[in-house]
Amino acid sequence: MKKRLCTAAFIFAAALGLSPALSGRAEADTKGFDLMPMPAKVVPAEGKHRVMEGFYVAGATGPAARAFKAASRFMFRLSGRTGLFFKQDFLLTQAASEPASLVYKYEKAGKLEPFEDEAYNLSIRPDKIELTARTDIGVLRGLETLLQLLAADDQGYYFPCLEVQDGPRFTWRGLMIDAGRHFMPVDMVKRTLDGMAAVKLNVLHWHLTEDQGFRIECKTYPKLHQFGSDGLYYTQDQIKDVIAYAAERGIRVMPEFDIPGHSTSWFAAYPEYASGSGPYTVERKFGVFAPTFNPTEEKAYKFFDGFLKEMAGLFPDPYLHIGGDEVEGGEWKANPMIQQFMKKNGIPDNHALQAYFNKRILKILTKYGKKMVGWDEVFQPGLPANIVIQSWRGQESLVESARKGYQGLLSNGYYIDLCQPAWEHYLNDPIPETSPLTDDQKKFILGGEATMWAELVTPETVDSRIWPRTAAIAERFWSPQSVKDVEDMYRRMNITSLRLEELGLKHLSYQAMLLRRLARSEAVAPLKVLADVVEPLKRYARHEHYTSLSPFTRFVDACPPESMTAREFGAKVDRFLQIKDQALAQDLNAMLVRWRDNHKALLPIIQGSPVLKEVQPLSEALTLAAETGIKAFDLVLSGQKSDQVWVDEMAQALAEARKPKAHAELAILPAVEKLVKASAGL
């Protein structure tokens, strides 16, 4: 699960020297539209297509067709947003003979596999909207674009007239859900699929087995889910249901069974396949653990043959992910039989032993018609080039494997569990402009995947870690490379975030819910003021404190991974320091005063709830930061210059404020520090 080493994304962002405000360089033609991901080409035209109760959708398909169902969902969502009572019974008929407002057409049903055609053309005219594509999947993508174009004026709702020609930059645009560390129920997976479809992601990578849980019903070896899951697993009927749900949204479902490491939960049922002597129970802690399959046991391959045969039959996707990451190695070293086997067969080290294991597994997969995908570590000498490497360690490994003719996916830099700001993910490109690859080599880069590792999330909080930041990543995978204006991305991402709620996603509503639980009251305004300027500690700073049974209902869990309020404040401070505008000054002052005075209102809430005790230092730090900011701000505004003693004092106070509290940190501090420096003329 690629955690211990995953620093490259941070280094990458730092190396570019990018700050969110400065990083947008290319200007997309399409700015001004609230679209995400931005289409390849948008040509604005004159006029508006009015949306009224007579709005009618038509296509030459029946109710069983994917496009028909997608059009029905489109109409429900359009009705939900506009409050319009459409006259059409869009569940019953979408016959093209009617006088239709929106007509969709396609040539054939798309296949759910890489390189399928997802392009579409959308033409909005005052009298008619036409959506054409080669496949029905293209129609689905176009319907999402159209819905994003809905606008309003004094007369009501309309679609602006324009022409869109669109298709994806990368064919593999994934989101990985880790259901191993915390089980994610079917309804979470389904609403995630809806969100993915809305931003044109097309691969659900389903991480189904981990040290902490074996999450899928296995009919060949039922002890696997019976002993390895605490009762929390997907039945095969549920798996089929999810696959069908995804397929209706034009999304592939690729399962991952992580072997030979990350496999403690398997050994709760079958210790005989482990390299150590056990006993094994489902892991509760997080990290990299010793239990590993024994690659020298012939019976293990018979076991995998049975297992993978069943899973290959269950999942129709041509690809199957075998994990392969972070093999700890201790059990191999400690097992004399394994050491003897290695010596006998000329296997020099653990890497080579894993390569041997992978080759055996690949043979089984090939037998059952699946292509193999694995994390970085499966890229080892001797493996054939028809496997796909998913890079979690960095751009370098992706470049290296592409040069050797391996297909690859980038996940490094898209670890959405680490609470990085959206712009860092957004500017992380599977094929950066500086890529050393030749055009032919670049073709091996299929795309990328955002990864939602689940140490610190539950079904209650997980949406807030996925959305809306994954929409920015989805744009990176879909839109032209030149679309990278960070400011405009944030503007569009925040609009997109609101729209995603209509799909049942909880990334916005969960916060007030958690705050009410913490405060044991509906009066949570001061708590929300604080939560909105606080971010969870980033990277792996929180992990060691938790197990899979820990509560994820504390204040830090209610704080968004990226504070949009702090971002707004930072942008205003930057602008104020440039132009010293009066309205801006008032605005900033109001923000700072609100933060300064918040503690008084918050204190009674904290005192009424023991679980909030840890929040008090954080709230006091906000007051301190706000007071400091106000003083610095006043100095800047008055044109006075603060003295060095004061600046040093403030720097020290802010250093104290910067220390992690309640597993969280104040997100407004960098901007306050800028004010302090500016007050000293620095």
Q: Say if CB 257 and CB 209 are below 8 A apart.
A: yes
CB of 103 to a second copy, least distance (A): 20
- Closer CB to a second copy, residue 1 or residue 78? 78
Question: Pairing state of beta strands 172-178 and 120-124?
Answer: unpaired
- Out of 63, 278, 313, 436, name the contact with a second copy by CB under 8 A: 63
Task: Report helix, strand or coil for 462.
Answer: helix
| Window of 89-97, 314-322, 376-384, 477-485 that interacts with a second copy by CB under 8 A | 89-97
Q: Residue 67 is encoded by which pair of tokens?
A: 């496009």
Q: What's the CA gap between 562 and 416, in Å, rounded? A: 11
616 binds a second copy (CB under 8 A): no
547 binds a second copy (CB under 8 A): yes
- Closer CB to a second copy, residue 241 or residue 634? 241
Question: Counting runs of H as helices and runs of E as strands, what totals does the chain give?
Answer: 24, 19
Task: Report helix, strand or coil for 197.
Answer: helix
130 binds a second copy (CB under 8 A): no
- Out of 108, 111, 284, 285, name the contact with a second copy by CB under 8 A: 284
- Out of 132, 553, 589, 616, name the contact with a second copy by CB under 8 A: 553
Q: What's the CA gap between 580 and 593, in Å, rounded? A: 18
- Closer CB to a second copy, residue 1 or residue 514? 514
Active site residue 326: yes
Query: SS in 3 state form for 95-157?
Result: CCCCCCCEEEEEEECCCCCCCCCCCEEEEECCCCEEEEEEEHHHHHHHHHHHHHCCEEECCEE
| Window of 165-173, 384-392, 416-424, 511-519 that interacts with a second copy by CB under 8 A | 511-519
Among 283, 326, 377, 449, the one annotated catalytic: 326
Q: What's the CA gap between 474 and 175, in Å, rounded? A: 9
Q: What's the CA gap between 378 and 322, in Å, rounded? A: 9
- Out of 200, 465, 506, 674, name the contact with a second copy by CB under 8 A: 506
CB of 521 to a second copy, least distance (A): 7
611 binds a second copy (CB under 8 A): yes
- Which residues contact residue 189 at a Cβ distance below 8 angstroms, ignoring those fewer than 6 apart? 177, 179, 204, 206, 242
- Out of 460, 574, 634, 649, name the contact with a second copy by CB under 8 A: 460
501 binds a second copy (CB under 8 A): yes
Q: Say if CB 147 and CB 500 are below 8 A apart.
A: no
549 binds a second copy (CB under 8 A): yes
CB of 264 to a second copy, least distance (A): 14
Q: What's the CA gap between 586 and 571, in Å, rounded? A: 15
Q: Say if CB 188 and CB 217 are below 8 A apart.
A: no
577 binds a second copy (CB under 8 A): no
| Window of 41-49, 192-200, 203-211, 519-527 that interacts with a second copy by CB under 8 A | 519-527
610 binds a second copy (CB under 8 A): yes
279 binds a second copy (CB under 8 A): no
Q: Cα separations (Å) of 646 from 56, 573, 625?
A: 67, 20, 14
Task: Report helix, strand or coil for 359.
Answer: helix
CB of 645 to a second copy, least distance (A): 40
220 binds a second copy (CB under 8 A): no
157 binds a second copy (CB under 8 A): yes
CB of 553 to a second copy, least distance (A): 4
CB of 193 to a second copy, least distance (A): 14
437 binds a second copy (CB under 8 A): no
156 binds a second copy (CB under 8 A): yes
- Closer CB to a second copy, residue 319 or residue 510? 510
User: What number of residues does the chain have?
Assistant: 682
550 binds a second copy (CB under 8 A): yes
By CB under 8 A, how many residues form the interface with a second copy? 61
Q: What's the CA gap between 423 and 420, in Å, rounded? A: 8
235 binds a second copy (CB under 8 A): yes
507 binds a second copy (CB under 8 A): no
Cβ neighbours of 83 (radius 10 Å): 7
Q: Say if CB 74 and CB 146 are below 8 A apart.
A: yes
- Out of 17, 83, 336, 346, name the contact with a second copy by CB under 8 A: 83
Q: Cα separations (Å) of 30 from 129, 161, 169?
A: 19, 13, 16
- Out of 15, 17, 92, 544, name the contact with a second copy by CB under 8 A: 92
Q: Residue 657 is encoded by which pair of tokens?
A: 């404020």
H or E element at residue 373 = strand 371-375
- Out of 491, 517, 543, 658, name the contact with a second copy by CB under 8 A: 517
Instruction: Output the CA torsion sign for 219, 224, 228, 230.
Output: positive
Q: Say if CB 165 and CB 41 are below 8 A apart.
A: yes
- Out of 16, 96, 247, 508, name the contact with a second copy by CB under 8 A: 508
- Closer CB to a second copy, residue 410 or residue 515? 515
- Out of 54, 80, 405, 681, name the contact with a second copy by CB under 8 A: 80
- Out of 33, 257, 273, 510, name the contact with a second copy by CB under 8 A: 510
231 binds a second copy (CB under 8 A): yes
* Chain position carrying tokens 């033609």: 29
Q: What's the CA gap between 251 and 52, in Å, rounded? A: 31
Burial (CB count <10 Å: 0-12, 13-18, 19+), residue 536: buried
Residue numbers annotated as active site:
326
Kindly list the residues in this chain that would bind a second copy in the complex (CB under 8 A): 63, 69, 76, 79-86, 89-92, 152, 155-157, 185-187, 230-231, 235, 237, 241, 281-282, 284, 459-460, 495, 498, 501-502, 504, 506, 508-510, 512-513, 516-518, 520-522, 545-547, 549-551, 553-554, 608-611
